[in-house]
Amino acid sequence: MVSPNEFRNGMTIEWEGQPYEVLQFQQSQMGRGDTFFRTKLKHLRSGAIIEQKFRDKDRFPRVRIEKVPMQYLYSDGERHIFMDSRSYDQIPLDGDQLGDSLQYLKENTPLEVLMYEGNPLGVELPTTVDLTVTQTAPGFRGDTAAGGGKPATLETGLTLNVPFFINQGDVIRVDTRTGAYVERV
């Protein structure tokens, strides 16, 4: 059991029978009253973010999230198929479970699927992925890396700002945490 004064960002707890991730927490005390904690929680199944206040006396069971190494195989429209790298079992995830992660997934991408009580919750992407630029304005002589950029569409449909010297067909590295250009590969 975990009390609110043991909360850390990224910790997973069970509240009202549902798994939540602690995104933020702040301790407050009113005069001689009880200590309470303002928290921002993310529901691990639905992705909904809520703000909740807890007292110091509240207790929560910790949730154990298993990270299973898998590989993204393909999409059949609404479902996205992943294969367990150890047992070769295939599991489907829908777009709601993947959220913004879909913008970084291409076939055969290795990643970790987050499992809770045998059910998939979502995926944990690698820190960076290499993607091919499918559409961007051409670079011109004299364009430099400093001083701005231009929009580029990548093979997964993600659009981001890249330096002027990047051309169509280039492979670039993208940070999956921020969605920003890192370097040309």
Can 4-55 and 128-184 be said to share one CATH topology? Answer: no
Section 11-32 average pLDDT: 86
Section 2-31 average pLDDT: 87
CATH code of domain 128-184? 2.40.50.140
Tell me, what's the pLDDT at 74? Answer: 92
Tell me, what's the pLDDT at 119? Answer: 86
Section 93-116 average pLDDT: 87
**What is the b/e burial string over 38-60, where b = at least 16 CB atoms within 10 angstroms of the residue's CB?**
ebbbeebeeeeeeeeebeeeeeb
Section 167-177 average pLDDT: 92
Lowest mean pLDDT among 56-60, 106-110, 146-150, 161-165: 146-150
Q: Where are the domains of the chain?
A: 4-55, 66-124, 128-184
Please give the CATH architecture assigned to the domain spanning 66-124: Beta Barrel (2.40)
Whether the per-residue pLDDT at 145 is higher than 80: the answer is: no
Tell me, what's the pLDDT at 70? Answer: 93
Section 131-155 average pLDDT: 79
Does domain 4-55 match CATH 2.30.30.30?
Answer: yes
Q: Against a cut of 0.75, is the pTM above it?
A: no
Whether the per-residue pLDDT at 142 is higher than 70: the answer is: no
Edge-first strand listing for the sheet containing 90-94: 90-94, 79-84, 66-75, 110-116, 119-124
Q: Which residues pair with 127 in a beta bridge?
A: none
Report d(CA 71, CA 126) in Å as an integer. 12
